[in-house]
Amino acid sequence: MPRAMEKNEFEIINETIDSIAAIFITDHKGHFVYVNEIFCQLTGYKSDELIGKSSNILKSGIHTDEFYKEFWRAIMSGEMWRGTFCNKTKTGELLWLDTIIKPIFNKNNEIEKFIGIRFNITDNVKNKFALKAQEEQLVAISGLATIGEISGFIAHEINNPLTAISLATNSIELSLNSKLPDLEKIKNLNSKIIKVSKRISRIVSSLRNLSRDEAHFEMQFHKPSEIVEDVLLIIEDIAKSEEIKLVIDSEIGNDLLIRCHKTQISQVLINLIKNACDAVQPLEKKEVKLTIKSDKEALEIRVLDTGTKIPDEVASCLFTPLFTTKKAGKGTGLGLTISAKIIEAHDGKLYLDNECDQTCFVVIIPLDQKKLL
């Protein structure tokens, strides 16, 4: 049987904890009645500046009212609470603390005080924020790289209709200057100009959507059908220029919504489709297929090409940063890595379906968006 601890052993444990952690005690209303030396060192306050004061003196403004409501609900119900607090020091610096708070009961089983133990994890949190910022920067750089890769095709696609508009306006001018203007011909040319102008407008709008930086904004609800339409408007001319057949098999309706960063999802799809186009370019049968379907739980998008199954030794490295099977100067080796991170941030997954006879990448995005709210 385990033996009972002697008094001096309790004292040794208490002294040890007191020497490595910030410890505080408050009354049942949250006013400090005790703080140890480490607590004072971390916060920048002297003990007499804290004793009798509300713990609100350390509020940073980072946490929401809901966060505090849930915190007080837990400890006032007698539960031990553990979580991360962001406090503000006396000099105004943010302090991130791994915190454990436990109620202390009196003889009547009423909460009399709270005791808390805290560990400084500020450096860890800063490192996570720095890493997140780097990832967001990589996503933005990857997006610009995608625009750069397709800009030549877009310029060509816009230049052609501009030439058509110029020829049409010249024909209209010649007809108007003639003795007997052909009104029917002018009407048809005018309709052609309107149609071509609308196409240019849609291409420019799609490109603007792709270049928008959404990383610092909340996700919004968008129609996957419209995202795919914008992507195809940009990518279909790349396929045509390389004599690649682009097949779309969509089973989703125009009323389906997902909560997402539209720009980032477009970036992922363009990357996958362009990779597929690059893969089939040297093949006799050049075909890329996009299948889109959904059930009650998730949206599934598959990008398949007529290339052979990717070898296991290559497949295992596909999502490794800087790994690429393309020739030098043809790829950064970051496209799939960043695409996977984007989809993970949407609580989904991107993977290679290596059980398929063809090369097939699968994007899964959940329709239950509660985790992202």
Same domain as 132, residue 114? no
pLDDT at 177 (0 to 100): 76
Looking at residue 289, the DSSP 8-state letter turns out to be E
Q: Determine the pLDDT at residue 330.
A: 54
136 and 11: one domain?
no
Strand segments, DSSP code E, in 223-308 are: 245-250, 258-260, 287-294, 298-308
Strand order in the sheet with 81-88: 32-35, 22-27, 111-120, 94-105, 81-88
Same domain assignment for residues 191 and 266: yes
Question: Could you report the per-residue pLDDT of 289-305, keeping only the tens digit for each?
Answer: 999 999 888 999 999 99
Task: Report how far residue 261's alpha carbon sits from residue 225's, in angstroms, rounded to the nearest whole number.
Answer: 14
Tell which residue, 330, 342, 338, has the closest CA to residue 227.
342
Residue 118: φ, ψ to 5°: -130, 145
Residue percentage of the chain with pLDDT more than 90: 25
359 in the same domain as 273: yes
DSSP 8-state secondary structure symbol assigned to residue 91: T
Q: What CATH number should be reported for the domain holding residue 163?
A: 3.30.565.10
Q: What is the pLDDT of residues 255-299, one digit of tens each?
A: 899 988 887 888 888 889 888 888 888 888 899 999 999 988 899
Residue 96's alpha-carbon distances to 23, 41, 62, 88, in angstroms, are: 15, 14, 11, 9
Count of CB atoms within 10 A of residue 52's CB? 10
Rounded CA separation 295/362 (Å): 15
Q: Which domain holds residue 81?
A: 7-120
Q: Is residue 273 part of a domain?
A: yes
Give a yes or no: residue 166 inside a domain: yes
Check which CATH number belongs to the domain holding 47 and give it.
3.30.450.20
Question: Quick one: pLDDT at residue 58?
Answer: 93
Contacts of 148 (CB under 8 A, 6+ apart): none
Both 176 and 290 in a single domain? yes
Number of domains in the chain: 2
Edge-to-edge strand list for the sheet holding 358-366: 245-250, 287-294, 298-308, 358-366, 349-352
Could you say which residues of the chain have pLDDT below 70?
1-19, 127-168, 179, 195-196, 198-217, 320-334, 368-373
97 and 167 fall within a common domain: no
- pTM of the predicted model over 0.75: no
